Structure 1
Amino acid sequence: MNIGLFGYGKMGKKIEQIAQDRGHTITAKINDSSQEVDYSAFDVAIDFSTPEAAFENITRCFKHKVPVISGTTGWLEKYEDAIEICNANQSAFIYASNFSLGVNIFFELNKKLAQMMAGLDQYRVSMEEIHHTQKLDAPSGTAITLAEGIISNSTYDKWKLNESGDHIVPIKSIREGTVPGTHTVNYGSAVDNIQIKHEAHNREGFALGAVIASEWIQGKKGVFTMRDVLNLS
């Protein structure tokens, strides 16, 4: 499989390494929107670029019928537009706030736990996410996905950063050291706590999931999620 990489930072380099280890070829590395791109040179595009560049990168690929795997956050106000362009060009698309296989299983556990806790008013939910100091956005996209999973399966109706209250899922964001990503969901009561936690040891899990998604999407048309890739739907 020939892969075009949009964004060649730390994640792009890790994706390159894992893709090559799995027998694939990186045929393009695009780090600048002014670069000329031969879309016929790759079978799939993996986008870990910037919020400013992502939408254009993704939709140009769709217009050349190149399927896209995107893990770039911060551009999702245009997500529905991207889906429309994908479908209009009969291309294929997977976006995920986190491609780690373990995190996507964690997302499902989080939803199930939220359903189980929904009728137990004595418990209050809270969340904490920890990332390295170079991660400037807060909360993380993964934390937002977790919060949305709770909201869609409970009586909570919004999330807030560092703010609690009735029907609010409070998220605490910590930036320290070189932590690749730790996410904790806690349900606390006067008598006990119930907690689920995912702790990434490095970036390899994120990159591996993106490459596996690229392999899975070959020959498909439409918009999918990691739930489809992992057969969790």
Structure 2
Amino acid sequence: MKIALLGYGKMGKTIEQIALQRGHTIVIKAKNNNYTITEADIAIDFSTPSAAYNNISNCIENNVPVISGTTGWLEDYDKTVALCQEKKGAFIYASNFSLGVNVFFELNSYLAKMMNTLKDYKVSMEEIHHTQKLDAPSGTAITLANDIIKEHTSYNSWSLEQEKEKALPITAKRTEDVPGTHSITYKSDVDTIDITHTAHNRQGFALGAVIAAEWLYGKTGVFTMKDVLNIS
């Protein structure tokens, strides 16, 4: 495939390496809006929250399938889905493309469902990322929190760094050179249950993004990583 990389920072460069190893060609390396998207067979967007919607909608308007791993722009997600359906385009958004993280998402949901009736346990979350990450909490943390809220009726929202009634507390830390760590803790007076996903580098995120692009190419519709990985 001929791939457009919309956003050419550290993640874009890692995706480039993996895409080339898998036999693809990079035809666009965009740090700004100065590109012609129709040169590409498919686009991978890891840009910034302010640029993501314009990047994605431009792809859909020009019939270029697009996957996005940019977080912090989801106020425009429903508008993007509607545009994709109207134009019969192809689109995948994921807060995290790592194959391991997507398995972790399923484990988190299953654990939350099991813990729902055990009222003595209080749940909390911590996420740690590199200091260049612009949004907090991470998109991955928000996905994890929303999945817990959906399964665990003691909570109806999440809250960053402060205690609120019926809100799942999230602590966000920024530390040099941490690709991403997410921990969920259920604590009672008698014991603690922890589940953690720790990324060792960006390779897992990048590989998942390329696999998602390969899967999306030639399809029409709005999909998720559950579709890519055939996770029911």
Specify the TM-score bucket, using the shorter chain as the normaliser: over 0.9
- Aligned residue in 1 for 2:27: 27
User: Are the equivalent residues in 1 in contact too, given 2:37–2:62 (CA < 8 A)?
Assistant: no
- Aligned residue in 2 for 1:60: 58
- Aligned residue in 1 for 2:195: 196
1:157 equivalent in alignment to 2:156: yes
Report the CA distance between 1:133 and its aligned residue: 1.6
User: Are the equivalent residues in 1 in contact too, given 2:37–2:59 (CA < 8 A)?
Assistant: no
Match of 2:82 among 81, 84, 89: 84
For 1:179, the aligned partner's letter is V
- TM-score, length basis structure 2: 0.97
- Aligned residue in 2 for 1:3: 3
Which segment drifts farther, 130-139 or 44-53? 130-139
Alignment of 1:18-167 (within 5 A): 18-33=18-33, 35-39=34-38, 41-155=39-153, 156-167=155-166
Q: For residues 89-142 of structure 1, what are the alpha-carbon distances to aligned partners after superposition, in whole Å with 9 as ceiling and x for unaligned? A: 111100011110000110010000000000000000010011112223211111
**Corresponding residue pairs, total:** 231
SS of 1:137's partner is coil
SS of 1:144's partner is helix
Using the alignment, how far apart are the partners of 1:118 and 1:185 within structure 2? 14
Amino-acid identity (%): 62
Using the alignment, how far apart are the partners of 1:85 and 1:64 within structure 2? 12
For 1:32, the aligned partner's letter is N
Give the unaligned 5+ runs of structure 1: none
- Aligned residue in 2 for 1:182: 181
Report the CA distance between 1:166 and its aligned residue: 3.5
Using the alignment, how far apart are the partners of 1:48 and 1:207 within structure 2? 10
4+ long deviations beyond 2 Å:
none
User: Are the equivalent residues in 1 in contact too, given 2:27–2:40 (CA < 8 A)?
Assistant: yes
User: Are the equivalent residues in 1 in contact too, given 2:215–2:228 (CA < 8 A)?
Assistant: yes
Report the CA distance between 1:38 and its aligned residue: 4.3
Using the alignment, how far apart are the partners of 1:73 and 1:36 within structure 2? 22
Cα–Cα, structure 1 residues 109 and 76, in superposed 2: closer, same or farther, change >3 Å?
A: same
- Aligned residue in 1 for 2:204: 205
Report the CA distance between 1:165 and its aligned residue: 4.0
Cα–Cα, structure 1 residues 27 and 136, in superposed 2: closer, same or farther, change >3 Å?
A: closer
For 1:30, the aligned partner's letter is A
Using the alignment, how far apart are the partners of 2:175 and 2:182 within structure 1? 14
SS of 2:190's partner is coil
- TM-score, length basis structure 1: 0.97
SS of 2:55's partner is helix
For 1:192, the aligned partner's letter is D
